[in-house]
Structures are given as structure tokens and as C-alpha cells.
Structure 1
Amino acid sequence: MFDQESVLRRFAQVVEDAHGELTRLDQRSGDGDFGDNLRGGVREAVARFDAGGSSAFGALGEVFLDEVGGTSGPLLGLLFTELAHALDREAEPVAAFRAGAAAGLAAIQRVGEAQVGDRTLVDALAPAVEALESGGFATAAKAAAEGAARTGELRARMGRASYVGERVKGEPDPGAVGIALLFWAVATVAEPDADLPSPLG
């Protein structure tokens, strides 16, 4: 069963577990702060949720839009905010997540201008959105993980990673991995019988 609080806490735990790897990946392609930014933002969102007044995804949206730096912080904030709005409007979880993720993808592409193939979080989010059109959360999680893995073969065309060229080949984009972790958290809560390996392998 989909439950926002359970998803938030599962996401927080997997981000804690992935912190070192996310940091290592970002050190190869960027400032090396993505792991800290994602972990710090999710920790703060959990604290804000526990204090009351915000839904789980509402808290994520507020924190990442207002308090998390880096390139990915505000972009993730757009996604979380659109998911929060959709989950407030739509009772059926898959339909709500599909609408929210699609709106989040559109907002991210409008602001950041990244397209599939640019080696960004869009490479994991876009296939997950597409998978939600015909499948459930586990299908979307697999699509996000596969999209994140494919970024290891792409040359970055956006952001700081675009300056390091071939040095990042073979390693996935940390932002895309972060998206894959989100969808993994959702799927393992909503569809606990699904056999889903971690996007980190």
C-alpha cells in the first residue's frame, strides 16, 4: 500500500546508505556535494514532516526548493512539489504519482533545459514517467534504475559534468541515481513483493 510517510522514511534510509557512493560519483563529475545535499535535504524534510503541518512530499518540496543548494536541489524541489500537489488531488496512488512525476519532469526541463541523453537526472525520470503510463511502481523503478545506469555511457552536455569529458564514462550520473533511489523507495513500500535490487547494485 502506498503511504507517503513510509516512502519518506524508506527514501531517507536508502539515501543515508547511498551517501558515500553518491559523493564518490559526484566527485568524478561535479563539486562532490550531491550526497551531502541530498542527505541533508531529506533529513530536514523528515524533521519538518515530524514537526507537523506538511505532507511527506510537501516537506520534501519545501526543503529542496528553499534550503538545498547545488544544481539539483531546486530541480528536485520542483519534482517533489509537483508530486505533493498531485497526491493531494488524486486518490489513486499510481495515477497521482504519474501526474506528479510528469508535471515535475516538465518543470525540470523548463527550468534546466535538459533533455534525455544529456546525462542528468532527466535520464532516469523520463523513462520512469513513461513506465507509469502503462505499469506500476515496480515497473517505473526498474525504468528509472536502467535510465540511471545508461548515463554511464553518455557524455554530459549540461552542468559542471560537461567540463570533465570522458573522465566520467562508465560511472552513472549521481542525480539520475538519486531519482532511481526515490522510485525504488516508492516501489518497495507500495509493492513490497516486487523483486527490486538497489539501483546501486
Structure 2
Amino acid sequence: MTHLDQDAVLDRFATAVEDGHGALTALDQHSGDGDFGDNLRAGVRAAVQRAGHGPHRGFAALGEVFLDEVGGTSGPLLGLLFTEIARALSTSSDDVAAFAAGARAGLTAIQRVGEAEPGDRTLVDALAPAVTALGRDGYAAAATAAREGAEQTADLLARHGRASYLGDRAKGAQDPGAVGVALLFWAVAGPEAGLPSPLEGVAAG
């Protein structure tokens, strides 16, 4: 059995999002509305406050905030992911298995609502391989798979959202939602995994 410190994960995720705000914004300016960095940062900040002053732990706080308060295309989708992870973690003492089950349920919910598949240049391109790796090999493998999936979005033709109207012009930069998912799995893997941040090599605006 393993124990996942949700407070530590939330703090690490929050720090990564703060540090990467400029880079995430630049990515979204390349292919989206340019608001992803602001939305992600605002949502994580609010979740940190909620987790520190209420009954909800890390992923439950993230889920509530992103479903109820965060706009943009990715906000509610990430809210579904966080909520499913929180639900799974609350029902099992084996956190790796529970996290894997929750992430898989979140992926299913996101695909049901957003209708995206791997290869469509969305956050699913990071989440789907992470879910597969997590169930098989654990947190560090999932974080690596998420980062690699996010990196590959730079070469994909977008099929959803504003980027889908840009055609080849959206290529050359990673999908910001996919990078956000990769940051989450990097935070979950923790410093002991010794993995580079998914934002390394991504230029800030």
C-alpha cells in the first residue's frame, strides 16, 4: 500500500502552475484564446485556499473549484478529472490503484463530454498515455508518459477548439491543456522521482 499526500501534491502543482504561468499563456496564445494560464492559475489558487480553510482535501477542492468557478474550455474538463480522482482516493487505501481508477474514470468523462480522442491535440493526448502507464508502472511512469504525450501535440493537427480553425498554423507549440495535465502528473510523482518539469524547454511569453 502507498499513501499519496494530497496537500503536498496540491502545493507542488500550485507552485508549478505559478512558475509556468507565462509559458502556459504563450502556448495558448499560439493556438487558443490565450486565457489558459490565467484560468489554470486562478483555479489552483482558489483550490489551495479552499483546501486550507475547509473540509475538502486536495483533489476534492480542485474538482469543486474547476467545475464551479473556472471558465474556458479546459476548466470544466479538468474539474471532471479532479473530481473522479478525489472520489476514487476516498474509497481505497491503495492510492496508486485508486488514483489510476480515478484518472481512468476522469478520462472517460472528459472524452464523453469533449468527444476528443488521442491524436486530436487536446489534453487527452497527455492524459490517455498517463492513465495506461499509471495502471501498469506507477506514478513516475505516468508522469513521463504524460510529458511525452504533451510534447507530441506540437506536431499534431488540432481537431477541437479554436486551434482546429488554425490548421497547420497551430503546429509547433504544445497544447497547453496537455501540458497542464503533464504538470499534474509530475506533481503527483513528487520530487523523489527526479523528473524534469514538463515546462522545461517551453518558452514563456
Fold match by TM threshold 0.5: yes
Q: How many residues align?
A: 198
In 1: Cα distance, 2:26 partner to 2:45 partner: 20
Query: Partner residue of 1:175?
Result: 177
1:148-159 → structure 2 map (5 Å cutoff)? 148-159=150-161
Give CA deviations for 1:85-128 in whole Å, capped at 9, x if unaligned. Answer: 00001111110110000000000000000000000000000000
Q: Secondary structure at the match of 1:89?
A: coil
**Aligned partners of 1:59, 1:198: CA distance in 2, in Å?**
23
Structure 1 partner of 2:28: 26
Q: 2:143 aligns with which of 128, 141, 144?
A: 141
Q: Which residue of structure 1 aligns with residue 194 of structure 2?
A: 195
1:118-175: per-residue Cα shift (whole Å, max 9, x none)?
A: 0000000000000012101000000000000000000000111101111121210000
Quick check: 119-128 or 163-172, which moved more? 163-172
Q: Could you list the per-position Cα deviations for residues 167-188 of structure 1 after superposition, in whole angstroms to 9, with x for gaps in the alignment?
A: 1212100000000000000001
Q: Give me the whole-angstrom Cα distance separating, in 2, the residues matched to 1:71 and 1:194.
A: 31
- Residue 192 of structure 2 aligns to a residue whose secondary structure is coil
Partner of 2:77: 75
Deviations, residues 57-93 of structure 1 (Å, cap 9, x unaligned):
1000000000000000000000000000000011111
How far apart are 1:51 and its partner, in Å?
A: 0.8
Which residues of 2 match residues 12-161 of structure 1 at below 5 A? 12-161=14-163
DSSP 3-state at the match of 2:50: helix
- Identify if the C-alpha distance between structure 1 residues 193 and 54 changes in structure 2 by more than 3 Å, giving closer, same or farther: closer
Distance in structure 2 (CA, Å) of the matches to 1:187 and 1:149: 18
Structure 2, unpaired ranges of 5+: 201-205
Counterpart Cα distance in 2 of 1:193 and 1:48? 27
The amino acid across from 1:151 in the alignment is T
In the TM superposition, residue 195 of structure 1 has moved relative to its aligned partner by 2.4
CA distance in 1, matches of 2:67, 2:85: 13
Which amino acid is 2:112 matched to? R
Instruction: Specify the SS of the correspondent of 1:193.
Output: helix
- Matches of 2:119 and 2:178, distance apart in 1: 12
